Amino acid sequence: MSAAQQDLEHDKNLRGVSAIARVVLPMHTWQQLVDNMNAKGDVLAVARLAGMMAAEQTGTLAPGYGLSHHPHLHLDVKLAPSVPGQVLVNASAASHGSECVGMVAMTAAAVSALTVYDMCKASSKSCVIQELTLSESYK
């Protein structure tokens, strides 16, 4: 958990939630990410950007979740340090309002995972988005 997340969790007026996604890749594809040798570019950086951009569009992508302001979003896309072959996505969204921060976090995590999948599928058709779930919430 980052310092920014800890600061947000101690704010009693803040509602927040985290979503996680996991992308499982064959070892040769995962090694390309380790070496930053994917033919389509820096997969993790592009996945972070795509997730952030998608989070801003949550109200458009999921009708009924119109946002009066954008919640704070922390998005981490990284190679799993202890599990070779996996990319972990963790999206945490927080807001002082009654915004649907869960949908924002889920949208960011889902689009980040889809981006990893899309950028790696040329290397292997065996890439799998294994998990997309809400992992924790606080109020």
Q: Which residues are catalytic?
A: 118
Angle at 4 between CA 87 and CA 2, to 5 degrees: 40
In terms of DSSP bridges, do strands 72-79 and 128-138 run parallel, antiparallel, or are they unpaired? unpaired
DSSP strands (E only) in the chain: 15-24, 72-79, 86-95, 128-138
The one-letter amino acid at 118: D
Give, to the nearest 10 degrees, the angle between helix 101-120 and helix 43-56. 150
Per DSSP, 69 falls in state S
Residue listed under structure tokens 């072959």: 85
